[in-house]
A and B are shown apart, each in its own frame.
Chain A
Amino acid sequence: MPVATARPPEAEEPAARRLYRSAEGRWLGGVARGLAGHLGLPVIWVRLVFLGLFMADGLGALLYAVFWIAVPLGVGGRSAEPKPVFETAPDGRRRLRKPDKGQLFALVALLIGAVVFVANIDLGGPANRYVWPVLLTGAGVVLVWRQADNARRAQWTGDGRRRGLLQLARGLAGVALVGMGLTVFVVVRGSAAQLGNVLTAALAVIAGVALLAGPWLVRMTQDLSEERLMRIRAQERAEVAAHVHDSVLHTLTLIQRNADDAGEVRRLARAQERELRNWLYRPEGTGKEEDEEPTMLADAVKRAAAEVEDKHGVPLEVVVVGDCPLDEKLTAQMQAAREAMVNAAKYGGEGGPVQVYAEVEGRTVFVSVRDRGPGFDPDAVPEDRMGVRESIVGRMQRNGGTARLRSVPGGGTEVELEMERADG
């Protein structure tokens, strides 16, 4: 099959086609890691080569810097796959991610290299008096560049927020290092007396550049933020459109299809109205907690009413005054209330909407469920009918509450449930 043969190269391509610096498990710029991935070599080899080149009059460092500047940080291809610690690719290649042992070894090798390098330098020698400033400056540049990488990565992954302070500190440290290196450079080269002049000149140059480039930079940032705003707006609109499409349009289609079934149409319309209302008027705009169990009384009452409404196709008007967290006793009360709602919907739904009223006043929680149905005589209910007696009255009494039932034949039924909260 052509598809089967085409697949392996396709899977390889993103990694092999382009050279990326690796964002995962890197030490500095991720150059060695990226190269290793690109060439299919163990990363430690690449690092050792760089180290060796570094010994050759710092060629390695120069090379590394060039790579760092020129090669983009990778997110796409294999370099961004963080999970497998040690893995072999289908064609036998070593994966980018290395075991810690290898990293340790590389670290030791680097340390040895550094020690050798330092030992090689004739610290007192006149030719080498620029070495320290250069090293300082280099370290600063590395810090700042790495910082820039991190900032870009944070944009992709969105994890930059909590480490913002640390990043700022690192950036500042980098700038300070560079400044120090340059200062030392000046001091070593000329005399310290010229430092003031040099600084003034440098400041003047910087100010000039800022004046020239400033407006342009400002405009660019403005354009950028404006574009971002537009994008956010477009996203919002897309979200609204998606929601309307998912819910409203589908419901309208269903209603068209069920136009003859008045009950079904009403049920669909009520459910959709409630859902849309939640979505529109909820402060947070999150309709996502649908799956979780409610923890607050008002939520619980509304949820129960919504479910009964959907199931029995009878509208329930819910009014809640006050709110409090649910405890064990209140949960029992909610179950009793739900039972009352089901009864009201089943037997009293013809007389109009069922009224559900819940109020938290001090330590007392009061719930009333009222329908305008035909009503019944509570004493005439046979002994074996357990609905009202056990699910409502019994449940309330077992949990230390009271339930009152008022029903007038022809005048509707009202169930009143009262419960003390467990905590203040």
Chain B
Amino acid sequence: MTEQTDAAEGTERRVRVVLVDDHRMFRAGVQAEIGRTEETGVEVVGEAADVDQAVTVITATRPEVVLLDVHLPGGGGVEVLRRCAGLAAAAERPVRFLALSVSDAAEDVIGVIRGGARGYVTKTITGADLVDSIFRVQEGDAVFSPRLAGFVLDAFASTDAPPVDEDLDRLTQREREVLRLIARGYAYKEIAKQLFISVKTVESHVSAVLRKLQLSNRHELTRWATARRLV
């Protein structure tokens, strides 16, 4: 995924980030990894350890990207997303959320994505990839880890069996192909080459999937989760 980083732009790009995680050590680690603003272009403007703090800090600093832990005291990442929904939907300089979690349990991941996060990465991600993901989210793109793609495929695979009036909720063949390639570990550029489409098209497919996931029938997703004994 490092291919995405455009060396030419280099230091021109700047992004203001808030870190939300209840582990101080982890925040310090991430800060050390991505916080060298001159090199990475990432400027950490605030930190928070629980839901209330997060809402306060995000409202006060209006960052472009929030790195959001899924498990937080006070209601979890989903609660932060709910209370910051207005900021995320703002027409001018919207706040975008990227879930960063140690949990790769499907219900956590699907939960924050449905709550409005623009992407999801696990904490084992490398610093370079994380910086790259942050910029992608800032540009309005969705960030799908292979594992997230797998969960989404799973969710839609079991829900599209009786699609009568749910056509909006379904994935197109192309979107499914794109997801599959992401799940197999391909970078966007590689997917574009594989499917003979442009990287922009790949990105728009991914964004469409994300939108469908956020809009998709709540009932069916709940059923999916229940069937897997996730809730």
Contacts and interface: CB of A to CB of B under 8 A. Distances in A.
Interface string A307-328: 0000000010101111000000
Interface string B140-153: 00000011011001
Contacts of B147: 317, 319
B154 A357 contact: no
A277 B124 CA distance: 13
Interface in A264-287: 277, 281, 283
Q: Which of B103, B124, B146, B184 has the most CB of A within 10 A?
A: B184
A277 B147 CA distance: 15
A355 B153 contact: no
B146 A357 contact: yes
A319 B157 contact: no
B183 A319 contact: yes
A319 B147 CA distance: 6
A227 interface: no
A357 B183 contact: yes
B111 interface: no
B184 A368 contact: yes
Contact of B154 (A322, A353, A355): A322
Nearest to B176: A361
B165 to A, nearest CB: 24
Given A317-B146, A322-B154, A357-B146, A281 B105 contact: yes
Contacts of A353: 185
Contact of B157 (A283, A322, A370): A322
A414 B180 CA distance: 14
A149 interface: no
A319 B150 contact: yes
B185 A357 contact: yes
Given A283-B229, A357-B146, A321 B184 contact: no
A283 B106 CA distance: 12
A359 interface: yes
A411 to B, nearest CB: 9
B175 interface: no
Interface string A334-361: 0000000000000000000101010101
B185 A359 contact: no
B145 to A, nearest CB: 9
A317 B154 contact: no
How large, as a class, is the contact surface on chain B?
A: 10 to 19
A317 B154 CA distance: 17
Contacts of B180: 357, 359
Interface string B161-193: 000000000000000000010011110000000
A317 B105 CA distance: 14
A148 B23 CA distance: 53
Interface residues of A, number: 18
Contacts of B124: 315
Contacts of B154: 321-322
Contacts of B43: none
Interface in B111-154: 124, 146-147, 149-150, 153-154
Contact of A277 (B104, B157, B185): B104
B184 A357 contact: yes
Nearest to A277: B104
A318 B121 CA distance: 14
A281 B184 CA distance: 23
A279 to B, nearest CB: 13
B15 to A, nearest CB: 24
A321 B150 contact: yes
Nearest to A270: B124
A281 B103 contact: yes
Interface in B60-114: 103-105
B185 A321 contact: no
Contacts of A283: 229-230
A262 B18 CA distance: 31
A317 B157 contact: no
Contact of B185 (A281, A322, A355): A355
Nearest to A414: B184
Nearest to B228: A283
Contacts of A277: 104
Contacts of A372: 185
A357 B180 CA distance: 9
Q: Which of A283, A319, A372 has the most CB of B within 10 A?
A: A319
A377 to B, nearest CB: 19
B229 A370 contact: no
A189 B53 CA distance: 82
A321 B153 contact: yes
Given A368-B184, A370-B184, A370-B185, A359 B104 contact: no
Nearest to A354: B185
Contacts of A321: 150, 153-154, 157, 183
Nearest to B2: A352
A319 B146 contact: yes
22 contacts: A277-B104, A281-B103, A281-B105, A283-B229, A283-B230, A317-B185, A319-B146, A319-B147, A319-B149, A319-B183, A319-B184, A320-B150, A322-B154, A322-B157, A355-B146, A357-B180, A357-B183, A359-B153, A359-B180, A359-B183, A370-B185, A370-B186
Interface of B: 103-105, 124, 146-147, 149-150, 153-154, 157, 180, 183-186, 229-230
Q: Which 6 A-B pairs have the closest CB atoms?
A: A355-B185, A319-B150, A357-B184, A283-B229, A321-B153, A319-B183
Given A319-B146, A322-B154, A359-B180, 16 more contacts: A319-B149, A319-B184, A320-B150, A321-B150, A321-B183, A322-B157, A355-B184, A355-B185, A357-B146, A357-B183, A357-B184, A359-B153, A359-B183, A368-B184, A372-B185, A414-B184
